[in-house]
A and B are shown apart, each in its own frame.
Chain A
């Protein structure tokens, strides 16, 4: 039989039972849509986690006191040797893969501007700190090397701090705030970064020269952390090794003492992406289950449809249909349902994902061709298989058995 006739027969059969056709499609639509939505949300979370990691700073290498394996708790105060500025200088001088390096110290401090006051993190670093952390200056300027050396009382404010102390659309550059009663001149404003991976507001921060923070606010010569930036992502592991070697020498400690630990962005990325992968897998399994349930729905309806039409199969055979004609007819029907249902499902899934992205802040929605293909492919196969299987059974009957079927 010619394909066009087959297609017409199939369409006619579907039209005769619009509601059932729709119900069958519904299974596919829901299954496909849920896969698209879930994967879009999952992929989105993965991307946004990766995005916020690179927010921390490009190619960041962090030196922290103590052993990371022991959760930062060192072997005992006596053996813990603090990092110092000499170590920072040694790194700057001797590590070819390191672009920038900065000592970092800081604490929460009380900020007062006029009648407003606010508690925020005050971080001290050198003039390269903003580059290491990939902070962008929204307006004003960064402090200079000279200001850092002289312990100048200047600072840069994060977006949240500006809003809390001066109001949203204010320009406080040139004004003075008091940090723990010490007056600082505001020389620059930082561009907003939003929340970090843990959900903490990264913009709730004041950056000031390291020496100033050390002397005026902390009253200690300790260097809490050292942040460095490798030239590229590829050399960040090399940078880590160079820094480690220099530090062991500079601090005169052995590796086993675990006086410090070094973390690179790459390691951090790995841990966090594996966490986000877990989320993707979780969402994907939810989607897979709904696809399965949808699939079972399709199977069920397809199976019943074909069974119920066994007499029709018998009649068609009685007037001359060959097994192949019967098979192709049902296959065409199943394919049509799967195709139309799958297409609607993809569109619906995209809309649902976009609505989700609209209402949930900071959540990128990413629809990958892979998820479309996956959802479409699965439902298609299920639809076709369960249309084909009972049809083949009917087509293999001798006509009188099909005609007698009840």
Chain B
């Protein structure tokens, strides 16, 4: 299988003046095309720091990161912006949508910074991405008119829209209840089945069980790297749950 992300000897030290926080102390990792990875570990073990570096949102202190074969430590700011735009889709725990803006506009945002798409192409792609996450009927809703789960789905659509090589999600279900979390996981599983490489951070074992590979961080190092033979199917888990009263969401 093709390797999409390679991390070699990544360290990250935060210099807080008096103290130096060594958030990552040498991480080596290969992520292959079509992987579905959950990163786990205690709070403060360096999961977010690692994701941010892979996502080109932050720079490592030492080490090299290859994304799709390209050494990103050699790139300048503008080239990194291009990588973030075209190769990576980032999903945040706190959604990070533009306030008082429609779902469509939020999803179109990465395309605006791409420059290769006309307005009608942007709309078509954004609509398609929103339909994929089951929000085809909420296109013109303002973000503050959506539930947390719906907002996170808008964020996933935004991460999808530029067809990145990998989706990185830092605790995407951290703010959501179990049912909504499973709905989000169902979307991720579907996307993964369609071939999308996905990496997510989670604290919850039952979320991690829905992925294909679990990596555990401890004190800035990878201490475990397991392959999950039979990932739990999120859709089936959802069906087992008692039906919700005022159901608005229906996953595709």
Contact = CB atoms under 8 A, between A and B. Distances in A.
B109 interface: yes
A340 to B, nearest CB: 21
Given A1-B113, A399-B84, A319 B158 contact: yes
Given A1-B112, A1-B113, A322-B81, 6 more contacts: A12-B101, A12-B105, A319-B85, A321-B81, A322-B113, A399-B56
A111 interface: no
A5 B57 contact: no
Contact of A320 (B52, B85, B92, B98): B85
Contacts of A315: 96, 98
A398 interface: yes
B78 interface: yes
Contacts, number: 65
19 contacts: A5-B112, A12-B101, A16-B101, A311-B96, A312-B98, A315-B98, A317-B81, A318-B55, A318-B90, A319-B85, A319-B90, A320-B162, A321-B81, A322-B113, A324-B78, A398-B58, A399-B56, A403-B57, A403-B92
Contacts of B78: 322-324
B108 to A, nearest CB: 10
Nearest to A325: B113
Contacts of A324: 78
B82 interface: yes
The 8 closest A-B pairs by CB, nearest first: A320-B85, A320-B113, A319-B110, A400-B58, A400-B57, A399-B57, A322-B81, A315-B96
Contacts of B110: 319-320
A9 interface: yes
B52 A319 contact: no
B196 interface: no
B114 interface: yes
A323 B113 CA distance: 11
A316 interface: yes
Contacts of A325: 113
B86 to A, nearest CB: 7
B57 A319 contact: no
A404 to B, nearest CB: 10
A2 interface: yes
Contacts of A323: 77-78, 81
Interface of B: 52, 55-59, 77-78, 81-82, 84-86, 90, 92, 96, 98-101, 105, 109-110, 112-115, 158, 162
Nearest to B79: A322
A320 B90 contact: no
B100 A398 contact: no
Interface in A296-325: 311-312, 315-325
B101 A320 contact: no
A348 to B, nearest CB: 30
Contacts of B92: 403
A312 B100 CA distance: 12
Contacts of B58: 398-400
A398 B109 contact: no
A392 to B, nearest CB: 13
A9 B109 CA distance: 10
Contacts of A317: 57, 81, 84
B85 to A, nearest CB: 2
Given A1-B115, A319-B110, A403 B86 contact: no
Contacts of A322: 77-78, 81, 113
A319 B92 CA distance: 12
Nearest to B110: A319
Contacts of A318: 55, 57, 84, 90, 96
A2 B115 contact: yes
A138 to B, nearest CB: 71
B84 A319 contact: yes
Contacts of B109: 316, 319
A80 to B, nearest CB: 87
A403 B81 contact: no
A405 to B, nearest CB: 12
Contacts of A312: 98
A325 B84 CA distance: 14
A321 B105 CA distance: 15
A318 B115 CA distance: 16
Given A1-B115, A325-B113, A399-B57, A16 B100 contact: yes
Contacts of B57: 317-318, 398-400, 403
A323 B78 CA distance: 8
Contacts of A9: 112
Nearest to B115: A1
Contacts of B158: 319
Residue among A9, A311, A319 with the highest chain B CB neighbour number at 10 A = A319
Residue among A1, A318, A322, A403 with the highest chain B CB neighbour number at 10 A = A318
Contacts of B162: 320
A12 B90 CA distance: 24
A320 B77 contact: no
Interface string A1-28: 1100100010010001000000000000
A211 B49 CA distance: 107
Contacts of B86: 320
Nearest to B48: A400
B201 to A, nearest CB: 15
Residue among B55, B92, B98 with the highest chain A CB neighbour number at 10 A = B98
A323 B59 CA distance: 16
A67 B100 CA distance: 80
B84 A400 contact: no
Residue among B57, B105, B114 with the highest chain A CB neighbour number at 10 A = B57
Residue among A16, A324, A398, A399 with the highest chain B CB neighbour number at 10 A = A399
B165 to A, nearest CB: 14
Contacts of A320: 81-82, 84-86, 110, 113-114, 162
A320 B110 CA distance: 6
